[in-house]
């Protein structure tokens, strides 16, 4: 039949679309450092120094400036995607993680 699509063709197209999306690197999405700063001040500032104008934080938590000097964007993304026990699980979206990582990247100066 002309114009019909078989089930196999649908599955193949769906698989191609799925793999294309998961292969698309997170950094390729437009991250917004300004949004990352807002998120960091809301969720991270209780423990970390997240900005130069912040005066108090937990002494056990590294500042975002120190993190920026030590960790790559890829390492930070991985860490925030799967937080460690000392850090609360804030269930950040991939977009929020990308924004925070972009913000931390601006502090590496």
- The residue ranges of every structural domain in the chain are 29-106
CATH code for residues 29-106: 1.10.760.10
Judge residue 89's burial from the number of C-beta atoms within 10 Å of its C-beta, 0-12 exposed, 13-18 middle, 19 or more buried.
exposed
The average pLDDT across 29-46 equals 91
Find, among 34, 37, 58, the residue nearest to 48 by Cα.
58
Identify whether the C-beta of residue 101 lies closer than 8 Å to the C-beta of residue 36.
yes
86 or 10, which is more confident? 86
pLDDT in tens, 39-61: 999 999 999 999 999 999 888 89
């Amino acid at each position: 039949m002309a114009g019909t699509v078989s089930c196999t063709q649908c599955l193949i197209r769906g698989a191609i679309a799925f793999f294309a999306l998961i292969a698309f690197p997170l950094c390729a999405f437009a991250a917004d450092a300004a949004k990352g700063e807002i998120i960091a001040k809301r969720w991270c500032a209780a423990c970390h120094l997240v900005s130069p104008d912040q005066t108090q934080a937990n002494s056990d938590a590294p500042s975002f400036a120190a993190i920026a000097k030590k960790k790559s964007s890829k390492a930070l993304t991985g860490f925030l995607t799967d937080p460690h026990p000392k850090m609360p699980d804030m269930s950040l979206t991939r977009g929020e993680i990308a924004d925070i990582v972009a913000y931390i990247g601006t502090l590496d100066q």
